[in-house]
A and B are shown apart, each in its own frame.
Chain A
Amino acid sequence: MNLNLKIWRQKDANDKGKIVEYPIANVSEHMSFLEMLDVLNEELIEKGDEPVAFDHDCREGICGMCSLYINGEAHGPDRGVTTCQLHMRKFKDGDTIFIEPFRATALPVVKDLVVDRSAMDRIQQAGGFVSVNTSGNTQDANAIPIAKENADKAFDAATCIGCGACIATCKNSSAMLYVSAKVSQFSLLPQGQVEAKERVKNMVNKMDEEGFGNCTNTGACEVECPKGISLENISRMNREFLAANFSSKK
């Protein structure tokens, strides 16, 4: 198929940036979206132009490195996939495709389609861990049985890949889904409950400090999340947060 790509080009963080049009021919429906961009880049380099910078690594939907806002949707039109898992069979001959970076104040553009997500790491540093030393002297792994249901729910929350699609999709640029996934994982496990209160307060405060917006329950994040992280996690985090603040006031 032949396509007309409209891609965001921005030299660096200080550049204003603009959309540039690139026609591309003979795209196979079996290609992944990023392979289509690889082909475009090879053509650009051969012509002496600068290739389009975009982030990617595993190309199998697990590292969370790829991003892209495709035709107004984070990770493109398919559901439950990351951009690297999106295939060209989702498009048709003659389509115009807008390709832009994830946008949020807290995730500034670095170059073209590459954004800086380090604020997301900083939220994890504020409390996304269990304070246990890696000494090897912990108790036996089977010493505390964990109900399968909780273990499964904790796992589901823990599958967040930290891609930032939820943030880019949210009209408030809220990071609630992302943060609540980590808070939920730990609050569902006995190992995480010991510091649950401190954790939720610290992570939520950090999130606010980093300039992520408030959650107004639009639910857009859940729709675009490639890993199906559920809104249930946000409710769980809200409960945890209220409980934590209530108990600290006492």
Chain B
Amino acid sequence: MKLDSKVPEGNLKDKWTNYKDSINLVNPANKRNIDIIVVGTGLAGGSASATLAELGYNVKAFCYQDSPRRAHSIAAQGGINAAKNYQGDGDSTYRLFYDTVKGGDYRSREANVFRLAEVSTNIIDQCVAQGVPFARDYGGLLDNRSFGGVLVSRTFYAKGQTGQQLLLGAYSAMNRQIARGKIKMNNRHEMLDIVIVDGKARGIIARNLVTGEIERHSAHAVVIASGGYGNVYFLSTNAMGSNATAAWKAHKKGAHFANPCYTQIHPTCIPRSGDYQSKLTLMSESLRNDGRIWVPKNKKDVDALRNGTIRAVDISEADRDYYLERRYPAFGNLVPRDVASRAAKERCDAGFGVNQTGEAVFLDFSAAIERYGKEQALLKGLDSNNKDKVKELGTEIVRSKYGNLFQMYEKIVDENPYQTPMMIYPAVHYTMGGIWVDYNLMTSVDGLYAIGEANFSDHGANRLGASALMQGLADGYFVLPYTIGDYLSNDIRTGPISTSSKEFDVAEKEVVERIEKLINNKGSNTVDHYHKKLGKIMWDKCGMARTEKGLKDAMSEIKKLREDFWENVSIPGNSSEMNKELEKAGRVADFLELGELFAKDALERNESCGGHFREEYATLEGEAERDDKDFSYVSAWEYKGEPADAILHKEELSFENIEVKVRSYK
């Protein structure tokens, strides 16, 4: 099958408007007869469910948590981008588009990104109307901050809880529709397969996580909004339950999986502390607005830090290496994430890591505290040379901006970050790769859509900070509701979809057999045993720096591990009850397949771009070396049984509205 991105004709600026003007619509009376399944209630799924229900469709929504409000979008901290240009600093739709394409290392589809930038402003209007309490200035207007990889202030925020506030907005919009009976919410349900009838997605098989019952649900279209697959690394900033299962099942039923190797390793996370560690905690990128990143210049200071004979504050300014400011003077501490992460790894690999494990750098707020303190002292008519007063005033400002993050840090690390610099290290955070979709957000299966982090679109090989929330809400509130209508306009005479077809029988049988196999296996190793092993392979060989040999090893090691898993995994209890180990086992089984495809994709891409860094393709200064001649395409993988046998389809990328350049932040 040939990949057709279905990008509309015409000027970039007019594509979306023209598209909306020319698509088929479904009249309100007919919408009442159409069902849509939405798997996931994060920003993408929540906003889509609410909007589709509002339009009149019958929505069946699913999440594995006990409430839609707990989807992992809730944990997003720093903010959401929008080209509002409220600050009058030169922002525009084109600039947001440009920054996103450049930030993604020229590996995304122009038309999608432009549309995203275009609808970004609606998002903010919409959320404010819903009662989302964004940060405001003293004049009562919305405040902004800056994120990495851009030179304007376009990030809207609600302290360090932006994702929470946006998700609660979408959740409230869902609640309004649940009350009207337009959304049927299925909490504590996990989708375990897609059902395809006559080539069209017509339903799902789900497990009720309380009773263990296997259920059939039908609809005229199915939307996957199940988030990212960062947990393939075991340790990541994702929630414990975040998984690839829904996306992977879609892949196995014919949806191509795009760019699995594009993973974002976030530069500022709390370093790991021991083997029992279950997850890693992000310290928002917004901290790089005010925090300066450094390691000591001299090895002797490194040793002294590790022995505990000195502390960070004992090291003089002259003996500190603010390596981002040194290497990238134009963007300094606000270089994009991939660049910042590799730079931290470079310093730590060179032996300058500041903690016991050698895997940590400092993120220091003392300069910001002093700067804000002096400003406040002046504003309040106090003595700006009084160090203690300045520190106190400055601390207050920093607290008001990042209070919850500092508290989070202190609770985990047991150190006061207002007084000593934070210690941070890169960790897996976001997956740019995902299910391939066309301009309509439809996958390569008819009637099967993918939105939010679950799809591959918009961010290319590296996502800019505060753009995932934007994309999730853009997809759900403003894009899918149009594109899905165009498709469903052909379904107004179809009538209800039966769940007693043989397609449902077969899909259900497969799900049940797989569960029974897991439960009856009675091997000798726990699920986490395998998940941790997989995570180690992924981090060591498919992490921040990849090599041909490492990737080949990863492929064969993951395959072996997968075989071992199916022989020797042990799951207690039975399948007809709440069984958290069984849930985990199903997810890990899918990660064990996805991981191998991931390595295969990374192996095939003989270049370095964004989050994908191949040691063989780097400049002498260690910067990534892209190969536009041979690799300016999206890799979309077709399932053929074993991950190693997947077939590559290429969607060539062309850039007509942007000049493709070497990405430089110097």
Contact = CB atoms under 8 A, between A and B. Distances in A.
A135 B55 CA distance: 9
B438 interface: no
Contact of A189 (B133, B159, B239, B282): B133
B119 to A, nearest CB: 7
B382 interface: no
Interface in A14-65: 28, 30-32, 34-36, 38-39, 42, 44-46, 48-51, 53, 55-65
Q: Which of B50, B133, B168, B240 has the most CB of A within 10 A?
A: B133
A96 interface: no
A136 B412 contact: no
A169 interface: no
A13 B129 CA distance: 41
A155 B278 CA distance: 30
A125 interface: yes
Interface string A125-136: 110111111111
Nearest to B242: A57
Contacts of A46: 526
Interface in B269-293: 273-274, 276-279, 281-282
B492 interface: no
A13 B335 CA distance: 52
A136 to B, nearest CB: 4
Interface string B109-126: 000000000010010111
A216 interface: no
Given A148-B140, A155-B133, A158-B168, A58 B72 contact: yes
Interface string A104-133: 000000110010111011001110111111
B187 to A, nearest CB: 7
A126 B179 contact: yes
Q: Which of B51, B122, B240, B578 has the most CB of A within 10 A?
A: B240
Nearest to A192: B131
Contacts of B572: 44-45, 48-51
Contacts of B577: 11-12, 111
A59 B278 contact: yes
A48 B74 CA distance: 36
B397 interface: no
A12 B544 CA distance: 44
B128 interface: yes
Nearest to A27: B276
A35 B130 contact: no
Contacts of A55: 66
Nearest to A54: B580
Interface residues of B, number: 78
B171 interface: yes
A53 B188 CA distance: 14
B159 A35 contact: no
A114 B519 CA distance: 22
A3 B131 CA distance: 46
Given A129-B176, A131-B176, A62 B74 contact: yes
Contacts of A191: 128-131
A136 B473 CA distance: 11
B75 A58 contact: yes
B276 A89 contact: no
A12 B211 CA distance: 9
Given A114-B578, A141-B84, A132 B130 contact: yes
B125 A136 contact: yes
Interface string B50-68: 1100100000000001111
Contacts of A207: none
Contacts of A189: 131, 133
A136 B478 contact: yes
Chain A interface size, as a band, is 35 or more
A166 B86 CA distance: 39
Contact of A142 (B119, B141, B273, B570): B141
A60 B408 contact: yes
Contacts of A125: 175-176, 178-179
Interface string B276-314: 111101100000000000000000000000000000000
B135 interface: yes
B124 to A, nearest CB: 5
A89 B414 contact: yes
B578 A63 contact: no
A152 B69 CA distance: 22
Given A28-B274, A147-B140, A85 B412 contact: yes
Contacts of B547: none
B526 to A, nearest CB: 5
A65 B66 contact: yes
Nearest to A136: B122
Contacts of A141: 84, 124-125, 127-129, 134, 142
Nearest to B570: A45
B412 A87 contact: yes
Contacts of B47: 134
A170 to B, nearest CB: 20
Interface of A: 11-12, 28, 30-32, 34-36, 38-39, 42, 44-46, 48-51, 53, 55-65, 78, 80-81, 85, 87, 89, 110-111, 114, 116-118, 120-121, 124-126, 128-136, 138-142, 145-148, 151-152, 154-155, 158-159, 161-162, 185-186, 189, 191-192
30 contacts: A11-B577, A12-B578, A30-B273, A30-B274, A32-B278, A44-B572, A45-B572, A57-B65, A57-B70, A58-B74, A59-B240, A61-B411, A62-B75, A62-B164, A63-B239, A85-B408, A85-B411, A89-B414, A121-B187, A124-B172, A132-B130, A134-B130, A134-B477, A138-B129, A141-B142, A145-B140, A151-B133, A155-B165, A158-B133, A162-B67
Given A110-B578, A154-B133, 9 more contacts: A28-B274, A38-B528, A51-B580, A59-B279, A61-B408, A125-B176, A130-B172, A155-B135, A158-B168
Interface of B: 47, 50-51, 54, 65-70, 72, 74-75, 84, 86, 119, 122, 124-131, 133-142, 158-159, 161, 164-165, 168, 171-173, 175-176, 178-179, 185, 187, 210, 239-241, 273-274, 276-279, 281-282, 407-408, 411-412, 414, 477-478, 526, 528, 570, 572-573, 577-578, 580-581
